[in-house]
Structure 1
Amino acid sequence: MSEIGGGKTGSAFDWDVLRKIFRFVKPYQRVFYLVIFLTVASAFLATVRPFLIQEMVDKQILQYNWQGVNRMFIWLIVLLVAHTAVSYFHTYFAGWLGQYVVRDIRVKLYEHILKLRLKFYDRTPIGTLVTRNVSDVETLSDVFSEGLAAMIGDVLQLVFILGYMFWIDWKLTLVSLSMFPLLIISTYIFKEKVKSSFQEVRGAVAKLNAFVQEHITGMMVVQIFNNEEREMKKFQAINKEHTRANIKSVLYYSIYFPVAEVIGAAGTGLLVWYGAKGVIQETVTLGSLIAFIMYIAMFFRPIRQIADRFNTLQLGVVSSERIMKLLESQEMISDSGTYAPKTINGSVEFDKVWFAYNYEDWVLRGVSFEVQAGQTVALVGATGAGKTSIINLLSRFYEINKGTIKVDGRDIKEYDLDVLRRQIGVVLQDVFLFSGTIADNISLGNKDITEEQMWHAARLVGADRFIERLPGGLHYNVMERGATLSVGQRQLISFVRAMVYNPKIIILDEATSSVDSETEELIQFAIAQLMQGRTSIVIAHRLSTIQKADNIIVLDRGEIKESGRHEQLLQSGGYYAQLHEMQYKNFV
């Protein structure tokens, strides 16, 4: 698994990670400052109520001043209405801020994922990336709506409460806070334990998503080999790990909150005992005692909430850490080229190209060849010879280790990447279609491509006949991965897709081995139309289909063993002649 699946497991709170995430708040800093203001206002208003009640009891009720009672009652109503309004706007704008920041982070993350080189995807489970872009990003919304701002509000409320309490009666305050050290110790232990369990939960979620995504995609293979029971056992093991991690956090919550409740109740009981004695001895007023009972309840509640919010914040930091690790990944194709011609001739040259997917595990070893504009070159060789690697390198899906690849005499690194890829059409054997209409899969969302252009391209490659027979024609929904179409139909759509973009270089992974003879004729016709007037590089599976190629390159273990035209290679009696003889025997 890629390193993005991991995260720090230390107990230190990583403010640096959170600071990086808060860079996304900058476009909404006015709303952020408004939330902070509302947080302060809410904390202040919440602590004024007990003070007003103390004033009402000591100076109005005990003095039998009914008008004063009515006046204080009106002030209490105004205070409650104001606090309710402030709480409403605080909750709304904190949630609003969280959702918009999450939206921006998700867009930024997906934009980054689109630019990562294919080597990154070779070793990163798709489910892990789904977790990063969906679950982890969604967790961050809680940081803004329930985490940092709310925790600041709780802290401020504690400060205001302590200020009022010490101002009213410092002795009573010290008695009230006598249980506070126990609460702090239990809160700290809870915070550390829950942070560890949250990290385990996020790791388990990533594993679960990766497993489910991979096995749903490969469900046909699972069922073909009657592997359902074994795969179910694997799923149960991963799911058990996920459940165990969640139950661990539930356990910590179930221990902490009753303990905190008992500590708070003990503090309140001690306060009532000491305060009642003071009221009897007339050293404490009845209003002060009532206010302190309200304050101590208000005091212990934010302490418990701070622990919970701190863990929400920590969970957000765990997710932020994973997200930032992905965002800061440098495994991107360099797009520093500036050469952007409107069109190219299409000549291709490989000059002593070395390439390895893993360091020095060479797939290509000093490969050199040249294709003139408009020519057709075929790549022949056994599985693992390096054929697919050549077409991947030409399109810059991977970067070469040594050597140079040129198009029209220029290093492909000098080209603007979008311009280069626009001039190279790739038709793979395994055609991938997205869920949506045929038109969507041909244009790939490019609004500049009209239906008229699609039909024209379809007629050129002979795909119009089967498209016209489908309900809705171009608007027929092919479902996920083109499940409602045959292999041949999917292949023809890929030819239309390539033709409509009109590239100067066409790369074909010949795909006629798994279709019937009638469909094969259609595909061969489409290939001929697609290659006409273009530089063509064909990966050949059937040697009979490349006999007219201008040059045939025979690869073995990443090296060119021989090259030439079909007749020349047969006459030389080398590697190609042996391959041809073996295939001929297989088809006889």
Structure 2
Amino acid sequence: MTTNTGHPEATTAVPKKQTTRRLLRYALTAKGTFIAAIVALSIGVGAELASPFIAKTMIDDHVMGIEDPYYETEAAGEGTVAYQDGHYKRGNRFAEGEARGEEVHVLQVGRGFVFVDEAIPVVEGDRSFESGTLTIQTAGGTVSYPAERLSKEELFRFYEPEIPGIMKLILLYLLFLAISIAMEFGKTYWLQSSANRVIQRLRLDLYAHIQRLPVNFFDNLPAGKVVSRITNDTEAVKELFIAVLSNFTTGIVYITGIYIALFILDPRLAAVSLFVVPLIILWIYLYRKIATQYNTVIRSRLSELNAIINESIQGMSIIRVFRREKQTRDEFEELNGDYMKHQNKMLNLNSLTSHNLVNVLRNLSFTVVIWFFGTSTIDGAASIISLGALYAFVDILGRLFQPITGMMNQLAALDSAMVSAGRVFELLDEPGENVTDGGMKRYRGDVAFKDVSFAYKKDYVLKNISFEAKQGQTVALVGHTGSGKSSIINLLFRFYDPQKGTITIDGQSVLDLPKQHIRQHMGIVLQDPYLFTGTIASNVSLGDERISRERVNEALREVGADKILADLPGGFDEPVVEKGSTLSAGQRQLISFARALAFDPAILILDEATANIDTETESLIQTALNVLKKGRTTFVIAHRLSTIRSADQILVLHRGEIVERGDHDELMAYGGRYFQMYQLQQGGGDSITPVTGKPESGFEARPAFGGANAD
């Protein structure tokens, strides 16, 4: 085994801007739910940010509002306070035109409150109370007033009228809290459902595109890496829409709402705190610049790990037979170690740039705001804001860093998802084959190759191949490994197209026919037939609605499969695991024959169809072959020459050339390469002289095929 690190994963990188635009186009496929999520998010943010304003009102109007002027009133009523022999009411609770008595004050001194039975022009300043005298020290001097200390019961009387207002504010807070919770549910549900829909669409597009990729693409990219693109990379993109998009959308809306609230409270302090925004943008830019380098390697190594695991599982028997466990483990460990090394680099980067930087920004912002507030107040440039407004401002400013933390914590997932999205779009950008809807009438199956030359890369592996195969004829392709047999079949299926010459079916060039239409009337039976997970019947029909269950049963009976499969507990509904590993080679082969017969192809290809069959089963297979070949143009690739004695035409290939052609008797009479091969297989090869030259007259020599991919 060799390490998978040498496999090319991509041809060109998709630019970040292009990746972002294409992700946005996919997001727009679920724009309705995305818009609903953003609306719910905005409402939720507004409801959540209402709580500091409620707290401000509660503090300024009710808790600290007790220090507003009170006036004596004649009668008790709503909002009045009974103290000693009089009744008092706050100034803002008098109705228009209602008579007011003497002004009084309730002021806090230390941890207690005092009652002052007269008007106080200035209540701000340092207060002290001693021996029935309230002293207030202000910038203009010191003033004193006679006062009485209030007991807890007396103080509660002044607070009692505030309780209804406080209760209303509490209920309002609970209402906004309920709205916030409901909107959070709606936002999460709509964002995740729309993300799931987008990823479903992306995976469908990716899988559909894989079906259109040419066969040679899979020669260069291992199956494990393709699987990694469809599963791991799309899952990372899913996290982009669910976690990253959710956090960033929430963060942007939340930060916008917070700054609106800050400007409502105090425009000057809010403007000072705006310095946080450019720092966040710079932070994200620098982080992604470094993280992209690490994530590119991480996603690539994860893909390579999948590839080597897939290869190891597929070849586990070979690994154990040749005792390559240690080498395979070492290769895996090398990839795994490199993967872990770059994961640790990302871990270090995240550790340095997550909560630590958020805390630095938080402390810096509070320091700048407090410094500016203190400086402007001392210099007399601004009046002191109320205690409630200051509390609300600090509360909202503190909330600013919750969405920032959420956004920063998702930076690693954001960059990983963008790298994965780029890899997905690289695969989607691979040129695919056009898919044509509909079909074409079943053609006769007259095949002609005329001066066909073909190269997989640089060297031609088929050279000037010419032959004809008529409907109902069987054409056998024989030759040593690498002679070009399988390449002829690849051209016939249009897995590849020739560089020179023409291939026609019923006189029409295959280049003028859609590939799907050509393959619609072709069938193939491989040496090691591939069975899918399901049942025997489903492996015959392959889920094609045109093939009824009756046709499936008939096809199985016609190839004689009912005789071999009769002992299975489920009969034709017997479960089949991946690759049909629980069935014998003969059983799998008969199912493959029945599949080909059920689809009724005009052209049938048999690729070493009897190579792995025991002698007893082979007679049954030969009977099935005779059923299959009736009325069809059949191409047989065979190494066991005894199985093609009845072929109408045998083409002997050598290094991409047709060196001999004819039926079995003609080729045996000629005594050339075919004769030698046949004698060797019959056990008489010790005295055979190798054939090295071109065929003698009567047999056309045709240049053909060579190279590693030829057979």
Q: TM-score, normalised by structure 2?
A: 0.77
- Equivalent residue letter for 2:396: Y
Corresponding residue for residue 16 of structure 1:
18
- Are the aligned partners of 1:510 and 1:540 in contact in 2 as well (CA < 8 Å)? yes
Establish whether residue 321 from structure 1 lines up as the match of residue 422 from structure 2: yes
What is the distance in 1 between the residues matched to 2:28 and 2:639?
Answer: 55
C-alpha distance after superposition, 1:285-323 (max 9, x if no partner):
221221122122211222232233444333222222111
Identify which of 551, 556, 570 aligns with 2:649. 551
Identify which of 589, 592, 596 aligns with 1:494. 592
Corresponding residue for residue 523 of structure 1:
621
Establish whether residue 288 from structure 1 lines up as the match of residue 389 from structure 2: yes
- Equivalent residue letter for 1:333: E
- Pair 1:349–1:8, CA change in 2 (3 A): closer
Establish whether residue 477 from structure 1 lines up as the match of residue 569 from structure 2: no
Corresponding residue for residue 484 of structure 2:
386
- Are the aligned partners of 1:337 and 1:415 in contact in 2 as well (CA < 8 Å)? no
What is the distance in 2 between the residues matched to 1:220 and 1:181?
Answer: 59
- Report how far residue 485 of structure 1 moved: 1.1
Corresponding residue for residue 39 of structure 2:
37
Q: In structure 1, the residue corresponding to 2:569 is in which secondary structure?
A: coil
- Report how far residue 268 of structure 1 moved: 6.4
Corresponding residue for residue 333 of structure 1:
433
- Report how far residue 465 of structure 1 moved: 0.8
Corresponding residue for residue 344 of structure 1:
443
What is the distance in 1 between the residues matched to 2:509 and 2:308?
Answer: 41
Deviates more, 1:576-585 or 1:383-392: 576-585
Identify which of 179, 189, 198 aligns with 1:101. 198
- Report how far residue 17 of structure 1 moved: 1.4
- Pair 1:425–1:6, CA change in 2 (3 A): closer
Corresponding residue for residue 138 of structure 2:
none
What is the distance in 2 between the residues matched to 1:488 and 1:54?
Answer: 84
What is the distance in 2 between the residues matched to 1:266 and 1:351?
Answer: 81
RMSD: 2.7
- Report how far residue 261 of structure 1 moved: 4.1
What is the distance in 2 between the residues matched to 1:536 and 1:343?
Answer: 15
- Are the aligned partners of 1:43 and 1:156 in contact in 2 as well (CA < 8 Å)? yes
What is the distance in 1 between the residues matched to 2:343 and 2:61?
Answer: 53
- Equivalent residue letter for 2:642: S
Establish whether residue 28 from structure 1 lines up as the match of residue 30 from structure 2: yes
C-alpha distance after superposition, 1:358-408 (max 9, x if no partner):
2x2222112111011111111011101110111121112222222211111
- Pair 1:440–1:284, CA change in 2 (3 A): same
- Pair 1:53–1:113, CA change in 2 (3 A): same
- Are the aligned partners of 1:271 and 1:293 in contact in 2 as well (CA < 8 Å)? no
- Report how far residue 169 of structure 1 moved: 2.9
User: Which structure has the larger Rg?
Assistant: 2
- Report how far residue 573 of structure 1 moved: 2.8
Establish whether residue 300 from structure 1 lines up as the match of residue 397 from structure 2: no
What is the distance in 1 between the residues matched to 2:582 and 2:437?
Answer: 41
Corresponding residue for residue 456 of structure 2:
357
What is the distance in 1 between the residues matched to 2:400 and 2:417?
Answer: 26
Q: In structure 1, the residue corresponding to 2:317 is in which secondary structure?
A: helix
- Pair 1:571–1:220, CA change in 2 (3 A): same
Identify which of 32, 46, 55 aligns with 1:53. 55
1:131-530 equivalences in 2 (<5 Å): 131-173=228-270, 186-267=283-364, 270=367, 274=371, 283-330=384-431, 332-335=432-435, 340-358=439-457, 360-530=458-628
- Equivalent residue letter for 1:32: F
- Are the aligned partners of 1:336 and 1:414 in contact in 2 as well (CA < 8 Å)? no
C-alpha distance after superposition, 1:88-138 (max 9, x if no partner):
101100000000111111111111111222111111111111111111112
- Report how far residue 586 of structure 1 moved: 6.1
C-alpha distance after superposition, 1:73-92 (max 9, x if no partner):
22221111111111110110
What is the distance in 2 between the residues matched to 1:451 and 1:587?
Answer: 49
- Pair 1:265–1:23, CA change in 2 (3 A): closer
- Pair 1:24–1:176, CA change in 2 (3 A): closer
- Equivalent residue letter for 2:480: A
Q: In structure 1, the residue corresponding to 2:354 is in which secondary structure?
A: helix
What is the distance in 2 between the residues matched to 1:583 and 1:37?
Answer: 78
Q: In structure 2, the residue corresponding to 1:62 is in which secondary structure?
A: helix
What is the distance in 2 between the residues matched to 1:164 and 1:334?
Answer: 56
- Report how far residue 150 of structure 1 moved: 3.5
What is the distance in 1 between the residues matched to 2:521 and 2:274?
Answer: 74
- Judging by fraction of residues, say which structure has more strand: 2
What is the distance in 1 between the residues matched to 2:678 and 2:34?
Answer: 71
Deviates more, 1:449-458 or 1:464-473: 449-458
- Are the aligned partners of 2:449 and 2:504 in contact in 1 as well (CA < 8 Å)? yes
Q: In structure 2, the residue corresponding to 1:563 is in which secondary structure?
A: strand
Q: In structure 2, the residue corresponding to 1:585 is in which secondary structure?
A: coil
Q: In structure 2, the residue corresponding to 1:366 is in which secondary structure?
A: strand
- Pair 1:195–1:52, CA change in 2 (3 A): farther
- Pair 1:229–1:315, CA change in 2 (3 A): same
Q: In structure 2, the residue corresponding to 1:494 is in which secondary structure?
A: helix
- Report how far residue 555 of structure 1 moved: 0.8
1:526-541 equivalences in 2 (<5 Å): 526-541=624-639
Deviates more, 1:495-504 or 1:290-299: 290-299
- Report how far residue 246 of structure 1 moved: 2.1
- Pair 1:289–1:196, CA change in 2 (3 A): farther
- Are the aligned partners of 1:7 and 1:322 in contact in 2 as well (CA < 8 Å)? no
What is the distance in 1 between the residues matched to 2:21 and 2:533?
Answer: 38
- Pair 1:278–1:67, CA change in 2 (3 A): farther
What is the distance in 2 between the residues matched to 1:475 and 1:239?
Answer: 43
Structure 1 residue runs without a partner (length 5+): none
- Are the aligned partners of 2:462 and 2:657 in contact in 1 as well (CA < 8 Å)? yes
Establish whether residue 85 from structure 1 lines up as the match of residue 185 from structure 2: no
Deviates more, 1:87-96 or 1:486-495: 486-495
Deviates more, 1:447-456 or 1:371-380: 447-456
- Are the aligned partners of 1:272 and 1:289 in contact in 2 as well (CA < 8 Å)? no
- Report how far residue 442 of structure 1 moved: 0.9
- Are the aligned partners of 2:276 and 2:365 in contact in 1 as well (CA < 8 Å)? no
Deviates more, 1:408-417 or 1:232-241: 408-417
% identical equivalent positions: 35
Corresponding residue for residue 213 of structure 2:
116
- Equivalent residue letter for 1:151: F
What is the distance in 2 between the residues matched to 1:276 and 1:420?
Answer: 80
- Are the aligned partners of 2:56 and 2:392 in contact in 1 as well (CA < 8 Å)? yes
What is the distance in 1 between the residues matched to 2:227 and 2:416?
Answer: 18
- Pair 1:191–1:26, CA change in 2 (3 A): closer
- Pair 1:296–1:66, CA change in 2 (3 A): same
What is the distance in 1 between the residues matched to 2:556 and 2:610?
Answer: 19
Deviates more, 1:438-447 or 1:188-197: 188-197
What is the distance in 2 between the residues matched to 1:156 and 1:435?
Answer: 49
C-alpha distance after superposition, 1:495-542 (max 9, x if no partner):
111011111211111233333211222222222221122211111211
C-alpha distance after superposition, 1:139-166 (max 9, x if no partner):
2222222223541331232223223323
What is the distance in 1 between the residues matched to 2:426 and 2:177?
Answer: 45
- Report how far residue 21 of structure 1 moved: 2.8
- Are the aligned partners of 1:176 and 1:267 in contact in 2 as well (CA < 8 Å)? no
What is the distance in 1 between the residues matched to 2:281 and 2:532?
Answer: 54
